[in-house]
Amino acid sequence: MAKIPLSIYIHVPFCRRRCVYCDFLSFSGMEWLIESYVAALLADIAEHSAEFRDYEVITIFFGGGTPSLLKSEHFEAILREIRTNFHLSQSCPISMEANPETVDEAYLLNLRNLGMSRISFGVQSFSNKNLKTLGRLHRADTAINAVKSASNAGFEDINADLIFALPNQSLADFEKDLDAALELPITHISCYALTVEEGTPLADSPLAAALPDEAADRAMYALAKQKLAAAGFAHYEISNWARAGFECRHNLGYWTGRQYLGLGLGASSYFGNRRLKKTDDLKAYIGGNFNLVLLEELSPQAQMSEFVMLGLRLTSGISIADFQTRFGQNIFDIFGQTLNKFLAEGLLQQNTNKITLTEKGIDLSNMIFSEFLE
């Protein structure tokens, strides 16, 4: 019997320092707990093996926090435990996030030898001033060296994260960041507009008042689209660009309804039409609380809504045929009124079997997605 495809996400909730804009689950100054955390993680992995006997793991992703704070020995132990407890596909890509200042070539070489196939660097900007403002611990040249080291170590699939619409950032400033990124041996770029999340230091800082306005923000986004396309990076998701064949397979799963198991502190899972989450209490997790707490059970209607709201994030959009196959219904019978409204307004477009966001539709995508919710 064919196995069900599954992605595994592993969370590493440690950072040397929290960035001012970050609202992810991570702790700074707790690195002394890494050993016990990894031990707990190994137990967490083993605990779920029985449940996923009929699944085949087709991607693995280490996210954070700062996964590169783990030693290569930790990765070795974790990957061994995963391979022992789960079926991995032949070509399962293993991807990790890394901060530039935490890696050197020897470390990267070790990771590569363990089977790590993709590395994603939190570059964010090549302006030292901006890096400092954001609370990053690296400088522009640190990031450049890190990417080059990864390439030297044999990584063919390298991502650089950039953030735009930073406090006091001009279009010319951002253009320099794009140019600098395009100098590097990378295959993938994520460009995120800075989002001021409630409760972060940035939200309460005077910097929040120095953010570029909407027009400037959209000009930067347009510039990214234009320059990255010219450099041979295809825009495949709202914030993601890749050279052909280097789209992040793990992340593609999130937008196409693939099931995933999240291991580690506060990690989210999605399988059996349920969204679940692990405890975000670090002490409890290390103490052996690996329960998956149910967040929501998706009704058929909710599944259809998600199909649209996540699928439209991809520039390839949603397929009318896929909808029909998955839900046994025509998408226009379910969402006809909403689809037609946005098609008429030029926020969506249809090419026979595919429905995609237009450029303007991307800019107003929340407004569009919200209309597809129940």
Interacting residues with another protein between 93 and 132 (CB under 8 A)? none
Which of residues 143 and 357 has its CB atom nearest to another protein in the complex? 357
Q: Does 238 bind another protein (CB under 8 A)?
A: yes
Task: State the minimum distance, in angstroms, from the CB of residue 154 to another protein.
Answer: 26
Which of residues 80 and 360 has its CB atom nearest to another protein in the complex? 360
Which of residues 77 and 252 has its CB atom nearest to another protein in the complex? 252
Which of residues 67 and 262 has its CB atom nearest to another protein in the complex? 262
Considering only 174, 254, 285, 307, the residue that binds another protein (CB under 8 A) is 254
Task: State the minimum distance, in angstroms, from the CB of residue 269 to another protein.
Answer: 8
Residues 277 and 292: their CA atoms lie apart, in Å, by 5
User: Token pair for residue 224?
Assistant: 């990214």
Residues 354 and 303: their CA atoms lie apart, in Å, by 18
Which of residues 59 and 133 has its CB atom nearest to another protein in the complex? 59
Q: Does 260 bind another protein (CB under 8 A)?
A: yes
Q: Does 364 bind another protein (CB under 8 A)?
A: yes
Considering only 100, 262, 311, 317, the residue that binds another protein (CB under 8 A) is 262
Q: Does 296 bind another protein (CB under 8 A)?
A: yes
Looking up tokens 């909710």 gives 302
Q: Does 193 bind another protein (CB under 8 A)?
A: yes
Count of residues that interact with another protein, criterion CB under 8 A:
42
Residues 93 and 157: their CA atoms lie apart, in Å, by 10
Q: Does 91 bind another protein (CB under 8 A)?
A: no
Which of residues 101 and 306 has its CB atom nearest to another protein in the complex? 306
Considering only 306, 307, 311, 331, the residue that binds another protein (CB under 8 A) is 306
Q: Taking a C-beta distance cutoff of 8 angstroms, is the pair 128, 139 a contact?
A: yes
Q: Does 239 bind another protein (CB under 8 A)?
A: yes
Q: Does 59 bind another protein (CB under 8 A)?
A: no
Q: Does 67 bind another protein (CB under 8 A)?
A: no
Considering only 268, 273, 319, 358, the residue that binds another protein (CB under 8 A) is 268
Piece of the chain touching another protein by CB under 8 A; list 139-147, 177-185, 318-326, 362-370: 362-370
Distances (CA, A) of 214 to 104, 162, 168, 193, 363: 39, 18, 13, 11, 10
Considering only 9, 126, 241, 285, the residue that binds another protein (CB under 8 A) is 9
Which of residues 234 and 364 has its CB atom nearest to another protein in the complex? 364
Looking up tokens 């929340």 gives 366
Residues 323 and 106: their CA atoms lie apart, in Å, by 47
What is the 3-class SS of the chain, one letter each residue? Answer: CCCEEEEEEEEECEECCCCCCCCCCCEECCHHHHHHHHHHHHHHHHHCCHHHCCEEEEEEEEEECCHHHCCHHHHHHHHHHHHHHCEECCCCCEEEEECHHHCCHHHHHHHHHHCCCEEEEEEECCCHHHHHHHCCCCCHHHHHHHHHHHHHCCCCEEEEEEEECCCCCCHHHHHHHHHHHHCCCCCEEEEEECCCCCCCHHHHCHHHHHCCCHHHHHHHHHHHHHHHHHCCCEEEECCEEECCCCCCHHHHHHHCCCEEEEECCCCEEEECCEEEECCCCHHHHHCCCCCCEEEEECCHHHHHHHHHHHHCCECCCEEHHHHHHHHCCCHHHHHHHHHHHHHHCCCEEEECCEEEECHHHHHCHHHHHHHHCC
Piece of the chain touching another protein by CB under 8 A; list 30-38, 75-83, 112-120, 306-314: 306-314
Piece of the chain touching another protein by CB under 8 A; list 113-121, 129-137, 180-188, 209-217: 209-217
Q: Does 342 bind another protein (CB under 8 A)?
A: no
Considering only 236, 241, 270, 290, the residue that binds another protein (CB under 8 A) is 270
Q: Which residues bind another protein (CB under 8 A)?
A: 7, 9, 63, 192-193, 195, 214-215, 217-218, 238-239, 251, 254-255, 260, 262, 266-268, 270, 275, 277, 295-296, 306, 309-310, 313, 345, 347, 360, 362-367, 369-371, 373
